Amino acid sequence: MPELPDVVVYVEALERRIVGEVLTGIRLASPFVLRTFDPPITEAVGRRIHAAERLGKRIVLALDGDLFLVFHLMIAGRLRWRAPGTKPPGKLGLAAFDFAPGTLLLTEAGSKKRAALHLVRGRDALRALAPSGLEVLDADLASFRAAFLRERHTLKRTLTDPRLLSGIGNAYSDEILHRARLSPVRLNDQLDDAEIARLFDACRAVLLEWTDRLRREAGDGFPEKVTAFRPEMAVHGRYRLPCPECGSPVQRIVHAENETNYCARCQTGGKLLADRALSRLLHDDWPRTIDELESGTRAAPQRRR
């Protein structure tokens, strides 16, 4: 799912291309992508775009008449900038938005169509679409601490909960926790003040660094390589590859469709976090520490009660 750095770069690319332009047409290739009916989508046609904005992980186009087009790309949704009149591509195309300088395409790979388009009227309706989590890059340590401790969760869950913190998802939460040298399964209320400050600094550093990196990569072009898996990342998507800090193989926890990556040496004191699927399969053969994993040994079997 595109997260804060990706969405910021998308918004900046849109600002350069369509702010001040009139939306001359909307072509829906999939009727299911549009999740609202009032106001009708036709009401957006003929209106001028006066701003492109980010709302959490959503992209917002502000139109004349207090209307807002809202794109939620979910996991596989992407935006493409093409020549005027370009048709949405085959099975991937969801919608096309026509402007004089070019056409903005909304696409989605995969069979599960989760990307969504909304048209709403007024700022109140816009705010109702998205949870109002804290914008970490606009916050100070005190406000971060208050949002961070609002509910009791694991660090991974806290970072990715849009009601608590805005714009952070599966990929950058892994990178943030690795930078802060904290376990993804540790509970947030177990952190002391110094650790919370370290996590706050890591959030800001990772988000700013990756926004700058993606901005440089896109240059004056439109971002085409939006992905959650990048070779320059420290741990996310790098299962079994060496940690850039200590060289130990990156580990993972798989839950449903999500995978959490971490370094056992840097983040959990050498302890391997149990992957549910592997733990059920291997039982006592599941190594307890990174040393056991790397040496090929295992702890003595424990008696089940």
Residue-level pLDDT at 130: 86
Both 153 and 69 in a single domain?
Answer: no
Q: Which of 99, 129, 159 is where one domain is finished?
A: 129
pLDDT tens digits for range 261-293: 999 999 999 999 976 554 444 444 444 554 443
- Same domain assignment for residues 257 and 211: yes
**One domain for residues 111 and 245:** no
Same domain, 151 and 265: yes
In this prediction, residue 275 carries a pLDDT of 67
- How far is Cα 134 from Cα 199, in angstroms, rounded to an integer? 15
Tell me the pLDDT tens digit for each residue of 237-260.
999 999 999 999 999 998 767 889
Of 65, 97, 129, the last residue of a domain is: 129
114 and 146 fall within a common domain: no
Helix (H, G, I), strand (E, B) or coil at 14: helix
Gap between the Cα atoms of 188 and 90, Å rounded? 45
Last residue of a domain, one of 61, 96, 129: 129
The whole domain housing 283 covers 133-305
- Tell me the pLDDT tens digit for each residue of 50-102: 999 999 999 999 999 999 999 999 999 999 999 999 999 988 999 999 999 99
Looking at the structure, tell me whether residues 180 and 66 fall in a common domain.
Answer: no
The angle at the Cα of 120, spanning 60 to 223, to the nearest 5 degrees, equals: 20
Q: Domain containing 37 — which CATH number?
A: 3.20.190.10
Element (H, E) at 80: strand 77-82
- Do 115 and 148 sit in the same domain of this protein? no
| 36: pLDDT strictly greater than 90 | yes
Given a cut of 60, whether residue 120 has pLDDT beyond it is yes
SS3 223: coil
Verify that 123 and 214 share a domain, yes or no. no
What is residue 292's predicted lDDT score, i.e. its pLDDT? Answer: 44
First to last CA, the chain: 42
The proportion of the chain whose per-residue pLDDT surpasses 70, expressed as a percent, equals 90
Reported as a single tens digit per residue, the pLDDT across 192-237 is 999 999 999 999 999 999 999 999 999 999 999 899 899 999 999 9
Q: Are residues 31 and 169 in the same domain?
A: no
> What's the CATH number where 280 sits?
1.10.8.50
What's the pLDDT at 263? 97
Q: How many domains does the chain divide into?
A: 2
Residues 280 and 144 in one domain: yes
Same domain assignment for residues 49 and 150: no
Model-level pTM?
Answer: 0.89
- 119: enclosing H helix or E strand: strand 116-121
What is the residue-wise DSSP string for 265-293? Answer: HHHSTTBPPPPHHHHHHHGGGS-SBHHHH
